[in-house]
Amino acid sequence: MTGKAEGRRYPRSATGFKGIKVASGILNHVDNISCSGILCHTLESLPIMTKMSIDLDLPGPAGHTPINCEGIVVRCEPDARNEGQFKVAILYTRLSDDHHHAVKEYVENDLARASAD
């Protein structure tokens, strides 16, 4: 792990997933998720401090767990691998205890699967 990853309060998932919706409809893929926020792709730049309501379909063995939360954009930069896309970091400003637990469980299972491979 890098020093940056070790300094994080919560671990991040090793894999991404589709299934993210916001009112503006511009987010299209989650790179990783943690109990503090998500890193995702957009097709347009978003201003820092943009507030948004987010619906996630968190993948799982029993299907998808719907997560509803609110967040704020804390970073937006061009994606070097995908021309015309942006990487956007969103920090949760509202995440229920049940949804926090679901995200934590997803990340733990995802990291366990990744280390087993």
C-beta separation of 67 from 55 below 8 A: yes
Q: What is the pTM of this model?
A: 0.82
- pLDDT at site 22: 65
- pLDDT at site 3: 41
2 has a pLDDT exceeding 70: no
| Of 43 and 97, the one with more pLDDT | 97
Tens-digit pLDDT profile for residues 4-60: 445 568 888 878 777 666 655 666 688 899 999 999 888 888 999 999 988 888 887
Locate the domains of the chain by residue range: 7-111
Beta bridge partners of 51: 72
Tens-digit pLDDT profile for residues 65-92: 888 899 999 999 999 888 888 999 999 9
- pLDDT at site 42: 85
Domain 7-111 falls in which CATH fold?
Thrombin, subunit H (2.40.10)
| Of 53 and 1, the one with more pLDDT | 53
